[in-house]
Amino acid sequence: MKILVVEDHAMVREGLVRIIEGALPDADVRAVGTATEAKQHLDWAERVLLDLSLPDQHGLRFLEEIGVSHPDLPVIILTAYDEPAFRTRASEVGAAAFLSKNEPPEVLAAALADLSAPPDSGAHPRLERLSPTERQVLALFGQGLSNAEVAQQLGIEEKTVYTHRRHLMFKLGLRSAQDLLRFATLYHAGLD
């Protein structure tokens, strides 16, 4: 997997490279600090990890450009600005995921790895955006399991379940936890 990291802070950029290489040893990682530099590597990349705050261009504007020039290139937004408006706009312009820099490192590795799975061609269009792990979490919510029960069932931390829940809401365009539970129940019943 070829991963392009676009992050303007050198220390954070180097840390991200180390996290990715540690979690995904087969990954080929390149890291740059500006959108201008990143444009030179888009043809090479299979995944992009993109910060929103870049010195030469806002990350959302760059995400839009990537969507036009490389529409099949998955882009994960990784930012300190975990604001609903940014999440909504990133979803609208095609982000594959939106991660906060406050997330534990394993969430980043899981998001990158989950993008490797092929989409289910028979699925509802909104469901095609979900990773296999997110589909598992959605199905377990649909069975009526709590966050703690989902964590136990999947062998993960409860905090990671909360992260998956936020990603599900983002990718499915849902506004509340209640909306997610209704959707999960319909999904489990086969009425999606």
Q: What is the pLDDT of residue 109?
A: 78
User: Do residues 84 and 152 share a domain?
Assistant: no
Q: Among 8, 6, 62, 55, which residue's Cα sits nearest to residue 31?
A: 6
Q: What is the pLDDT of residue 116?
A: 56
Assessment of whether the complete model's pTM goes beyond 0.95: no
User: Do residues 106 and 159 share a domain?
Assistant: no
Render pLDDT for 26-46 as a digit per residue (tens, 0 to 9). Answer: 999 999 999 999 999 999 999
User: Do residues 2 and 81 share a domain?
Assistant: yes
User: Do residues 127 and 112 share a domain?
Assistant: no
User: Do residues 107 and 129 share a domain?
Assistant: no
Range of the domain at 86: 1-116
Q: What is the pLDDT of residue 123?
A: 46
Q: What is the pLDDT of residue 122?
A: 44
Q: What is the pLDDT of residue 119?
A: 42
Render pLDDT for 134-146 as a digit per residue (tens, 0 to 9). Answer: 888 888 988 889 8
Q: What is the pLDDT of residue 56?
A: 95
Point out which residues pair with 134 in neighbouring strands.
none
User: Do residues 112 and 53 share a domain?
Assistant: yes
User: What is the CATH classification number for the domain harbouring 107?
Assistant: 3.40.50.2300
The list of the chain residues with pLDDT below 50 reads 117-123, 192
User: Do residues 111 and 148 share a domain?
Assistant: no
Domain boundary, last residue among 116, 144, 177? 116
Q: Among 107, 116, 88, 109, which residue's Cα sits nearest to residue 162?
A: 107
Number of domains in the chain: 2
Domain boundary, last residue among 116, 138, 169? 116
User: Do residues 96 and 134 share a domain?
Assistant: no
Q: What is the pLDDT of residue 149?
A: 93
Q: What is the pLDDT of residue 192?
A: 47
User: What is the CATH classification number for the domain harbouring 167?
Assistant: 1.10.10.10
Is the separation of the CB atoms in 76 and 111 below 8 Å?
yes
User: Do residues 57 and 135 share a domain?
Assistant: no
Q: What is the pLDDT of residue 131?
A: 78
SS3 sequence, the chain?
Answer: CEEEEECCCHHHHHHHHHHHHHHCCCCEEEEECCHHHHHCCCCCCCEEEECCECCCCEHHHHHHHHHHHCCCCCEEEEECCCCHHHHHHHHHCCCCEEEECCCCHHHHHHHHHHCCCCCCCCCCCCHHHCCHHHHHHHHHHHCCCCHHHHHHHHCCCHHHHHHHHHHHHHHHCCCCHHHHHHHHHHHHHCCC
